[in-house]
Chains A and B, each alone.
Chain A
Amino acid sequence: MRPQTYSNVADNSGARESMRIRVPGASNRQYASIGDMIVAVVREAVPNMPPKGSEVVRAVIARTRKGLNRDNGMAIRFDDNAAVAIDREGNPKGTRVFGPVARESRECHFAKTVSSAPEVLR
């Protein structure tokens, strides 16, 4: 995912769509992939809920259309680009996560997010 990429927000934190701004901690890192934390701005939100449009949030990328390449050689592609809103410590902001999530997110200390996902892809 590059900066300016729109992605669906896959949880019930109140945001619907977010746009990626940056990858925190790196100088000019262009690409963020599944399992990376990103800084994003909320572009579209569910009305009357905390995150408002143009609020900056952190998120973990859960699915990308570009997908992953696993060690066993299998390539995995998802249907959309999606991220889950998290706070600074890495805990999910919402209570539920929608859609499948790749196992890679777990490896990057986002265990809580992954555990509330309906389906985790091994």
Chain B
Amino acid sequence: MRLEKCWFCSSTIYPGHGMMYVRNDAKIFRFCRSKCHKNFKMKRNPRKVKWTKIYRKLHGKELPQDTTFELERKRNRPERYDRNVVEDTVKAMKKISETRVEREAQTLANRMRGKKTQQRREDLAELQQGIHLVKAPTALLEEPSLTLPKEKMKVKVSVEQESKAMES
């Protein structure tokens, strides 16, 4: 029994799933589900299809190169069965997948770094622009407790607030 990779999306194909297409030049394409097969028939390039692993790796969304992947290479020569080797392999597999998960989480964290502050800044801008949809500007003036959240760049915010006060 062998766990194959889907040609299109690179997910693992477990036994009992998927389909294998053999071209006349004897090239084999394995698909994990009909979604991938249909995309293949439409002649789509997996490198351009956003939800595939290939696209994600190519566009830096996921861990591209790592030693943990090299350990999972396909080996065609069958190994002589040795109980100790099998035991160690199983233990190693667990450790490797843990490491890989950690590294992938790290890559994600790196990619999303600075996102929170940027999001906050964008939200603040939206709030300032659109607060009149929620509360009338005069109400903001009358009730001092209702203030827009202050940003670290205090100068910018206070000037805008002042101009709003002056307008109304």
Contact = CB atoms under 8 A, between A and B. Distances in A.
Interface residues of B, number: 15
Contacts, number: 42
A100 interface: yes
B16 A78 contact: no
A79 B23 contact: yes
Contacts of A75: 18-20
A119 B26 contact: yes
Contacts of B21: 76-79
* Residues of B contacting A: mostly: loop
A74 B19 CA distance: 6
A100 B16 contact: no
Contact of A121 (B17, B22, B25, B30): B22
16 contacts: A63-B24, A72-B1, A72-B15, A73-B15, A73-B17, A74-B18, A74-B20, A76-B22, A78-B24, A79-B21, A79-B23, A80-B24, A100-B22, A100-B24, A118-B26, A121-B28
Given A75-B19, A77-B19, 15 more contacts: A73-B17, A74-B19, A74-B20, A75-B18, A76-B19, A76-B20, A76-B21, A77-B20, A77-B21, A79-B21, A79-B24, A80-B24, A99-B24, A99-B26, A121-B22
